[in-house]
Every structure is written in C-alpha cells, then in structure tokens.
Structure 1
Amino acid sequence: MSLRTFTSRFVRAYTPARVAPFAFTRAIATKRYTKEHEWISVEDNVGTIGITDYAQKSLGDVVFVEIPSPGQAIGRKEQLGAVESVKAASDIYSPVSGDIIEANETLDSEPSLINSSPEQDGWLAKVQLSDPSELDSLLDESAYQAHCESSEDH
C-alpha cells in the first residue's frame, strides 16, 4: 500500500474536522530568552522561568540550586536564584518583574533536573507578571539561537 493510499484511508479519516491551533502556537509564541541564558514561558500572565540548555551545558553538572521564596516581589533583572555546579556558580536573574507565586521545590532534592530537563522539569520559579510589555525586549527563539552561535565564535 502506498503512503498516499494509507494517508487517504486512515489518517484523514481520523483527523478531527476542526482543530483549535492556538493552544499549541500560543505556548511557542510566548517563550522568550535573555542574552544571559534565562528563558521565560508565559501563559495566562504567569511566567515560568529557568535557565536554557545552552547555560546548563556551560555550567556542567549542577549540584545545588537556590530557589526563591513564593510571595516576594521581584524586579526585572533582579536576582531570582543561583545555580552551583562542579565548574562554577552562577546567579539567575528574572527577565520580568512581578510576584513569585511558586518555586520548583523539587530542585532542592534533585538539582540535576536542570541538566536533564532545563527547559521543562528544571524550571526555577513562576512569576505573576506585573508588566507584560517587558516581554517585548526579550529574544525570540531564532534571535536567541543566533546570539548563542555568535557567542561560540568568540
């Protein structure tokens, strides 16, 4: 059976008539990066913040993570936490201002989550944004990748 025949018989038969494409694309469109290798993903005015895969590779094996306390206000470019690895220690700065509503307490017992899943399970904090327009000054994925490639050239 050819791929075209298979597709027309099986795949198209099970494709829903109307799919809401916005749920998936909205998450992609709202992920932003800093030049200092932090990321933020925003949904419903709540930003989840962590460090990028590029940053965790530069740090090496993470052995300790300092996470922020929920309930405190944080300003843009203020220290949110810190990451210590076998190579170095690095402060993490908030890409936006707002109130910290949740911290990833799993990192206390499993700091290696930053190495294994830096942009998913290894997030540091969730922040209720006070000024969503601050996202406009951050890099999108293609600009961040270009920034990383230019950093590697030096």
Structure 2
Amino acid sequence: MSYPPVPGRSAVANAVYGLLNPIPFGFFVAALVFDVIYARTGTILWAKGAAWLIAFGLVIAIIPRLVNLTQVWITSRRISTGADHVDFWLNFVAIVAAILNAFVHSRDAYAIMPAGVWLSVITVVLIAIGHVLIAVRYTARRESLHG
C-alpha cells in the first residue's frame, strides 16, 4: 500500500516513508505465518525463520518510524490529523510487541509457544489497523476535495 504525498510535508521524507513503511509489515506477516506453521508442525526451522523475520522487520522499521515521528509530532503537526496520531501510536505499540516477540523467540524450541504466536498476531493486527485508518482518512479527504 502506498501513501500519497501530503501537502506541506517533505517530498523526500514522503518518498522514504512510502518506500520503507510496507516492508516491516511484510516481515511481521511472514513471521506470523512461520509461527503458525511451527505451532502446527513442531519443526524448529520455522521458529528460527520467524525469529529472523522479526529481527529484520524491526531493523527496517527504524527509518519509517523516525520519519513518521518527525512528520506527525514535529515538522507537520499543524496538518496532522487524529488518524495520523492514532496510526503513530498503533505502530509504536506494535513495535514494542515485536521487540517482546524477538525476546520470546530467543527461547529454546517449543518454549516460544503460544506467546510467540499471540505477539505476532498483536503486531500484525495493530499495524493493519493503522494502515486501514490512514487509507480511510485519505479516501475521506479525497472525496471531500472532489465531491
């Protein structure tokens, strides 16, 4: 999902955010899939793969979260909407859940179940709700400008 540029915000920051923001979500969804497969099969390969996916997702999430922090709370706070603030906090809580999930995935073998699956679900659901809020806000703004 790409986000259209918001007037009054840096074009470079919008480009970086639009390019990097979906990547961690993909890693977290893949980690959720791997966790579910591990819970069903017990093959340790899936748990280790999920741990790596969570770690990569967290590393790549740093830049878009910093851009989002700057745009929502510092440089563009005059044009930020409530949906932007809610999306920021949902992503913040999701990142905290992903960090906890990385610690859970550092355990041995089946000790990561069921906490690993639940933390993956929480992470994915929170980020998905944030994406939906931003999409609804953009659609409503577009309709009000054109209609």
Query: What TM-score do the two structures reach when normalised by structure 1?
Result: 0.25
Query: What TM-score do the two structures reach when normalised by structure 2?
Result: 0.26
The structure whose Rg is larger is 1
Structure with greater proportional strand content: 1
